Amino acid sequence: MNKRVTIDPVTRIEGHLRVDVEVDGGRVKKAWASGQMWRGVENILIGRDPRDAWAITQRICGVCTTVHAMASVRAVENALQLEIPLNAQYIRNMIMLAHAVHDHIVHFYHLSALDWVDVVSALKADPGKAASVAQGLSNWSGNSKAEFTKVQDRLKNFVGTGRLGIFTNGYWGHPAMRLSPEVNLMATSHYLQALEIQRYASKIVAVLGSKSPHIQNVAVGGVSNPLSLDSQSVLTIERLLAIKEWMLKLEDFVKNVYLVDVGAIGGFYADWTKYGRGITDYLSVPDIPLDTKGTKFALPGGYIEDGKLESYKPITSFNDKFFTDGVSEAIKHSWYDYKGGNNKSLHPYKGETTPNYTDFQDDGKYSWLKSPTFYGKPMQVGPLPRVMAMLAAGHEPTKKYATAALDLVSAVAGTKVGVEALHSTIGRHAARAVGCAVQVDELINQWDLLLANMATGDLKTFNRPTFPKGEQMGVGIHEAPRGVLSHWVVIDSGKIVNYQCVVPTTWNAAPRNEKDQPGAYEACLIDNPVADPEKPLEVLRTVHSFDPCLACAVHVVDDETQSVVTVTAV
Ligand code: NFE
Ligand code: MG
């Protein structure tokens, strides 16, 4: 018999996500992803000065705080065909990369590891044995018996108080939890260490961006960081040297802990390479520009059809029409109306944001997210599509870290696990860690590039924009932590007349589109196992593998829902 499970709200994410699944015979047969809150940021921008848009759109999200600022200034610069100084690119690049590294560490350890790691089981571990398991995997300085004993004692004290705090509603002892107490203790220790390490990434963003979350240093035309080799009041060599130290701490953790943990946990849960495949039409965009125009990039991106690397079609510049012509958004199943009819899909330059809330209708409207498509097809975006594109482009660092991760998965699983396994729930975690290792290397590289350019005597960081009379249109693209982000602006005589954000989580968590095709979450949930509908841990595993951000995705709240099981999951 079909059983309907509603998870509302899904937690350990950003924003308000509801997921409904119909389960039959222990498997998901049908799924709905619904964004439950709308804020109308796109409409707030109409009539404003395009130079202010970044500061407003950045408030779309408190998690990917930098990304909307970057996409917004890029959109306006694209509309004006305004180049930005090399130093500004490097400073922006370091902010984007430090932010991405932060985002991925926090996602794996603090937002999703508890779907795979049983904290309570860590109480039963032998810390000495846990240390030898961990030291067999990596020589990270935090893998000692003393460290693991300390963590276990902390856990015992915590549990002993009877107040589990944020861990209260965890699915501890769930049959789908499969790690040994020792591996659980190792992972729990790294969870706590990751809390310390993530601060270094935030500090890099804060020093370069003047503030974190929500940087203050971008401007249409560059950045507002004056560079000087002798003044104490600007971005000095002293500050840059401090940043470099923090980069090296991040590098150590990402390569010796995060990548290793994902490989090991992936190996123990190798059966999860079979679930969560869903949509394998992958979209990513190139990023980390190396020139003033956005035509050369450190990290490639593009389109891959049906998961086949040989189908890779690169996107090559900020002006690439292959990308800009392909995007449109539908609202047949979303709480909006289009003037020309609700079965249409609109290009973002012609996009409309007119709310029309109807309540949750299984076959009608059920989400505040629109349904983006690329040449008419729903896409998956994010670390997995990004890593696939980089592999297809022959990007050597990506090949190196992907091979290292898959070799470790294979060793732990006791069977050869190849690239094909990445098209899965656990594969999204592996791809995120591989991408993060690539990003941390590139972060250090951008630091070197900035210093080398400053050494030539070039200290320029800003080109002043001028707004001509008449209409200009521009798109700003950014490969954000959760995938392709694009901001689309139409400017008329220096004022914004239309503004549309098409956001990573909008692509992935989209409701069915105008052709009733499901979005990536919905497609990836089909055939997921659900051992106990009252504790739908496996559904959360797949949803969390995307790192949902609903604040971004819908940029009013539903209160009444009728369902067989409603679960508030941690
Ligand atoms: Ni609010 Fe974001 C990223 C953007 S996601 S987290 O990455 O844009 O949809
Ligand atoms: Mg939008």
What is the CATH number for 66? 1.10.645.10
For a substitution probing ligand 1, which of 482, 543, 555 has the most ligand atoms within 8 Å of its CB? 482
| Distance, C-alpha 84 to centroid of its chain | 26
- Number of the ligand 1 atom closest to the C-alpha atom of 505: 9
The domain tally of the chain equals 1
Helix 259-268 to helix 181-209 angle (10° resolution) is 150
499 CA to centre of ligand 2 in angstroms: 9
Residue 239's region, left for phi above 0, alpha for psi from -120 to 50, else beta, is alpha
Is-above-0.85 flag for pTM?
yes
User: Of the bound ligands, which one is closest to the alpha carbon of residue 502?
Assistant: 2
Q: Which neighbouring-strand residues pair with 424?
A: none
- Number of the ligand 1 atom closest to the C-alpha atom of 71: 8
Nearest residue (by CA) to ligand 1, atom 6, is 64
Nearest residue (by CA) to ligand 1, atom 9, is 505
List all residues whose CB is within 6 A of at least one atom of ligand 1: 14, 61, 63-64, 67, 480-482, 485, 503-505, 549, 551-553
3-class secondary structure, 503? coil
pLDDT tens sequence for the chain (570 residues): 689 999 999 988 888 999 999 999 999 999 999 999 888 899 999 999 999 999 999 999 989 989 999 999 999 999 999 999 999 999 999 999 999 999 999 999 999 999 999 999 999 999 999 999 999 999 999 999 999 999 999 999 888 887 777 777 788 889 999 999 999 999 999 999 999 999 999 999 999 999 999 999 999 999 999 887 777 778 888 889 999 999 999 999 999 999 999 999 999 999 999 999 999 999 999 999 999 999 999 999 999 999 999 999 999 999 999 999 999 999 999 999 999 999 999 999 999 999 999 999 999 999 999 999 999 999 999 999 999 999 999 999 999 999 999 999 999 999 999 999 999 999 999 999 999 999 999 999 999 999 999 999 999 999 999 999 999 999 999 999 999 999 999 999 999 999 999 999 999 999 999 999 999 999 999 999 999 999 999 999 999 999 999 988 887 333 343 444 555 554
- Number of the ligand 1 atom closest to the C-alpha atom of 483: 7
Q: Which helix (H) or strand (E) holds 194?
A: helix 181-209
Q: Which helix (H) or strand (E) holds 328?
A: strand 327-330
What CA–CA distance (Å, rounded) separates 323 from 339?
A: 25
User: Of the bound ligands, which one is closest to the alpha carbon of residue 488?
Assistant: 2
What CA–CA distance (Å, rounded) separates 144 from 492?
A: 62
369 CA to centre of ligand 2 in angstroms: 8
Query: What residues contact residue 353 under an 8 Å CB cut-off, 6+ apart?
Result: 40, 42, 43, 336, 500
User: Of the bound ligands, which one is closest to the alpha carbon of residue 102?
Assistant: 1
- Number of the ligand 1 atom closest to the C-alpha atom of 64: 6
For 426-506, strand residue ranges (E) read 471-480, 483-492, 495-502
286 CA to centre of ligand 2 in angstroms: 21
Paired tokens of 27: 């498997």
DSSP state of 274: S
555 CA to centre of ligand 2 in angstroms: 7
549 CA to centre of ligand 1 in angstroms: 6
Contact 64, 552 (CB under 8 A): yes
> Range of 347's domain?
3-569
For a substitution probing ligand 1, which of 42, 63, 111, 381 has the most ligand atoms within 8 Å of its CB? 63
Nearest residue (by CA) to ligand 1, atom 8, is 503
Contact 97, 439 (CB under 8 A): yes
User: Of the bound ligands, which one is closest to the alpha carbon of residue 63?
Assistant: 1
486 CA to centre of ligand 2 in angstroms: 9
- Number of the ligand 1 atom closest to the C-alpha atom of 482: 7
What CA–CA distance (Å, rounded) separates 277 from 343?
A: 28
